[in-house]
Amino acid sequence: MADGIVVIGSGISAAGACYHFRNNGKTARVYDKNSFPWGHTATHAYEPGFLFDEGPHVSFTDDQRIQEIFAESVGGEYDSTPYVLNNYWKGFWPVHPVQNHLKGLPPELVTKIISEIARQEDDEPEINNYADWLVASYGETFSKTFPMVYTEKYHTTQAENLTTDWIGPRMHRPNLEEVILGAISDNPPNIHYIKEFRYPKKGGFQAYLPAFFEGFNLSLNSEIVNIDTSRRVVTFRDGREESYKALISSIPVPSLIPLLNDVPAEVIEATAKLAWSGCVLVNIGVNRADVTNAHISYVYDEDIVFSRLSFPHNISKSCAPAGCSSIQAEIYFSEKYRPLECAPEDYIDVTIKDLIRCGLLKESDDIPVREVVVCPYANVIFDHDWAPSIQLIHKYLDDVGIHYCGRYGDWDYLWTDQSFTSGENAAATLLDSLNS
């Protein structure tokens, strides 16, 4: 076996690990359970010429080193595009983020929002959960009208059940002047943390991946069903065994722990407390070019099934045939808080109906693509069990010599650049452990 190193998964974090191994003169065997490579960064193609990623994937990292690495992986063949984001709320389409673009919303609502923000005390109140943070940041009316509803749709649980560990730059906290300016000006300054994104010119987001695995032995349809950390042997679904000197896993933690032997009861209990959302992606191709100019739309209405829409034909013209548009709707569920209510395919008709309600589709539209893809793991849910549970689990994985990486190995809210770096870091730690 190549240097005795095994990498489980072929997503962007595995790409980061392989990148590090190559730069250090090492190689590895890479295994993925799927029949197709690249994990969550895979792109799905449908006739006649539509491409859909697994959730909208664009690269918006401001880490110059990663920008260069990704650019090189596609031979410089990428486009840079200004990001166009908007929101849908009860027939209104404010620019994103809403808190900085209140102009055009009902005057009574805007007045209430601004007066609550103006009345906020300078002293920060005690913040025990995300709901407290929202009210402290935006006041009650704004919070209850927009982000609290969105939280239930996207994170599948109430804001009270979430911590604030994941927020980072995702939620802009405006000052009063910014809010007022956004309520009276058609063109307030763009304060969003992503202003521009990069995307491969051809082949969807997955075009970034293959170069990282060149020269590595990548086996698909290779589901690992057991990892014996004392014998250092992995077993595949077909019964094959393979020994390893060192191993990196990008398998989601709740799926990894059951593959290990003699796991202590407290680790099993901690794993049972982890929460994550899965996502049903409804992919729609439309024979009409003018659906929207946005890349992403956040949807706040409780009675609309999807929480977010993206438009691949605007992300790259290579994602749809000329004269066509494409829409991807995200519908979230979770085992812990809100299990799926029907078969994934049943969401296709509901999605089309709700797209018509929003005015994005017309009854008369010709819709050549109506497909559904299910992602069993989408986002980690940062509920109050997250920190203590994952700390305990990671300590156990460290103790038994399993290196982990990526969004679902680190069990964190990582973007592709951060997952890539996480893979690089896991590879570096692994090589150190082999040398010591």
Ligand X SMILES: Cc1cc2nc3c(=O)[nH]c(=O)nc-3n(C[C@H](O)[C@H](O)[C@H](O)COP(=O)(O)OP(=O)(O)OC[C@H]3O[C@@H](n4cnc5c(N)ncnc54)[C@H](O)[C@@H]3O)c2cc1C
Among 192, 232, 415, 429, the residue binding ligand X under the rule CB under 6 A is 415
Query: Is the C-alpha dihedral spanning 169, 172, 177, 181 positive or negative?
Result: positive
Instruction: State the Cα–Cα distance between residues 398 and 395, nearest whole angstrom.
Output: 5
Please give the residues from 350 up to 409 whose contact with ligand X meets the rule CB under 6 A. Answer: 378-379, 406-408
Please give the residues from 158 up to 177 whose contact with ligand X meets the rule CB under 6 A. Answer: none
The token pair that represents 109 in the structure block: 């609502």
Residues 244 and 232 sit within 8 Å (Cβ to Cβ): yes
Q: Is 13 a residue that touches ligand X (CB under 6 A)?
A: yes
Instruction: State the Cα–Cα distance between residues 42 and 209, nearest whole angstrom.
Output: 9
The token pair that represents 335 in the structure block: 């085992």
- Closer to ligand X by CB, 88 or 408: give it: 408
Please give the residues from 28 up to 47 whose contact with ligand X meets the rule CB under 6 A. Answer: 31-34, 39-41
Among 6, 9, 146, 324, the residue binding ligand X under the rule CB under 6 A is 9
Length of the chain: 436
Query: What character string, x for contact with ligand X (CB under 6 A) and - otherwise, covers 310-349?
Result: --------------------x-------------------
Q: Is 94 a residue that touches ligand X (CB under 6 A)?
A: no
- Which of helix, strand or coil describes residue 106? coil
Identify which range of 124-132, 222-230, 347-355, 362-370 contacts ligand X by CB under 6 A.
Answer: 222-230
Instruction: State the Cα–Cα distance between residues 355 and 362, nearest whole angstrom.
Output: 8
Q: Is 414 a residue that touches ligand X (CB under 6 A)?
A: yes
Omega cis (within 30) before 97: yes
Query: What character string, x for contact with ligand X (CB under 6 A) and - otherwise, covers 253-292?
Result: --x-----------------------x-------------
Instruction: State the Cα–Cα distance between residues 90 and 115, nearest whole angstrom.
Output: 22
Give DSSP secondary structure letters for 203-260.
S-GGGGSHHHHTTSEEESS--EEEEETTTTEEEETTS-EEE-SEEEE-S-HHHHGGGB
Query: Is the C-alpha dihedral spanning 409, 413, 416, 417 positive or negative?
Result: negative
Among 5, 6, 7, 8, the residue binding ligand X under the rule CB under 6 A is 8
Q: Is 97 a residue that touches ligand X (CB under 6 A)?
A: no
Q: Is 200 a residue that touches ligand X (CB under 6 A)?
A: no
Q: Is 203 a residue that touches ligand X (CB under 6 A)?
A: no
The token pair that represents 324 in the structure block: 């066509």
- Closer to ligand X by CB, 166 or 415: give it: 415
Identify which range of 96-104, 164-172, 217-225, 283-291 contacts ligand X by CB under 6 A.
Answer: 217-225
Shortest distance (Å) from residue 257 CB to ligand X:
12
Omega cis (within 30) before 388: no
- Closer to ligand X by CB, 40 or 101: give it: 40
- Closer to ligand X by CB, 142 or 306: give it: 306
Give the HSE-up count for residue 71: Cα atoms under 13 Å, Cβ half-sphere.
14
- Closer to ligand X by CB, 137 or 403: give it: 403
Instruction: State the Cα–Cα distance between residues 401 and 145, nearest whole angstrom.
Output: 47
- Closer to ligand X by CB, 358 or 375: give it: 375
- Closer to ligand X by CB, 143 or 307: give it: 307
Kindly list the distances between the CA atom of residue 361 and the CA atoms of 353, 395, 435, in Å, as whole numbers in the listed order: 8, 50, 59
- Which of helix, strand or coil describes residue 412? coil
Shortest distance (Å) from residue 8 CB to ligand X:
5
Shortest distance (Å) from residue 236 CB to ligand X:
8
Shortest distance (Å) from residue 31 CB to ligand X:
5
User: Which stretches of the chain bind ligand X, using CB under 6 A?
Assistant: 8-14, 31-34, 39-41, 55-59, 222-224, 250-251, 255, 279, 330, 378-379, 406-408, 414-417, 419
